[in-house]
């Protein structure tokens, strides 16, 4: 299973090559949502879907008084290009990738875009 670029759009290829799920057009942004304290990845894919998930999840935490946990959900957004697709795949394959990228200063947070 991996993210791929086909015909300018980003797709998620599941089992084999035959099943592809459309993630975003080439003009849309991609994103990763993660916990700012420990780097746990929670959601990845199109920015629109990731943002909706984060807002919904933050709302649930805030309703129950867990503002500090809600504030730790961070979105890193990036353009739909090969570098970003490679990053999504690296993060999906290895749970410590986000921690390493944060430590190296390569993964931004709090809605900053990757170049």
Domain ranges for the chain, please list them. 27-103
DSSP 15: S
The dihedral sign for the CA sequence 87, 22, 52, 67? negative
Which residue intervals of 9-103 are DSSP H helices? 47-63, 67-71, 82-93, 97-103
Paired strand residues for 77: 31, 113
**Tens-place pLDDT, residues 40-91:** 899 999 999 999 999 999 999 999 999 999 998 989 899 999 999 999 999 8
Average pLDDT of the segment spanning 24-36: 92
């Amino acid at each position: 299973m991996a993210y791929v670029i086909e015909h300018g759009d980003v797709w998620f290829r599941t089992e084999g090559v035959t099943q592809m799920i459309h993630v975003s057009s080439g003009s849309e942004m991609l994103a990763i949502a993660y916990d700012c304290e420990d780097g746990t990845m929670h959601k990845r894919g199109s920015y629109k879907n990731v943002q909706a998930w984060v807002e919904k999840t933050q709302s649930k935490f805030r309703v129950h008084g867990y503002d500090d946990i809600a504030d730790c959900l961070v979105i890193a957004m990036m353009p739909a290009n090969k570098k970003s697709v490679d990053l999504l795949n690296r993060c999906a394959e290895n749970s410590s990738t986000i921690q390493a990228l944060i430590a190296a200063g390569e993964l931004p947070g709090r809605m900053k875009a990757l170049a």
